[in-house]
Chains A and B, each alone.
Chain A
Amino acid sequence: MSDNEFIKIKNVSKKFDDVVAVDNVDINIARGEFFSLLGPSGCGKTTLLRILAGFEYPSSGKVLIDNVDVTGITPNLRPTNMVFQNYAIFPHINVKKNIEFGLRKEKLSKDALDKRVKDALRMVQLEGYEDRYSNQLSGGQRQRIALARALVKQPKVLLLDEPLGALDKKLREEMQLELRKLQRSVGITFIFVTHDQEEAMTMSDRVAVMNKGKILQISPPRDLYNNPKNLFVGDFIGQINFLESEIKSIDSNNINVLINKLGEHTLTYSGNINKEESIVCAIRPETIQIGNNPDQIKSDITIKGKIANTSFYGNMTYIYVEIEGIAKTLMVSTSDALEGLTYDSECYININLKDIRLIKKN
Chain B
Amino acid sequence: MTEPADAATPEETTRYGDGTGDPAGSADRNGSFDGYDPTGWYDELVEGSGMPRAAARELLAHLQSLTLDELRARQRAAEIDIAASGITFSLYSEAEGNIDRAWPFDVIPRVFSSTEWARIEVGLAQRLRAINLFIDDLYHDQVSLRDGIVPRELLESSPGWRPECVGISPAHQVWAHICGSDLVRDRDGSMYVLEDNLRVPSGVSYMLENRLVTKRVFAELFERQSIRPVDRYADDLLATLRSLSARPDPMVVVLTPGVYNSAYFEHSFLAMQMGVELAEGADLFVEDDVVFLRTIEGPQRVDVIYRRVDDAFLDPEVFRPDSVLGVRGLMRAWTAGNVAIANAPGTGVADDKAVYCFVPDLIRYFLAEEPVLDNVPTWRCEDPTHLSHVLANLEQLVVKPTNESGGKGLLIGPHATRAEIDDYRVRLRAEPRGWVAQPMLSLSVAPTLTPGGVEPRHLDLRPFTLQGATTRVTAGGLTRIALRRGSLVVNSSQGGGSKDTWIVDTP
Q: Do chains A and B stick together as partners? A: no
Which A residues form the contact surface with B (CB < 8 A)?
Answer: none
Which B residues form the contact surface with A (CB < 8 A)?
Answer: none
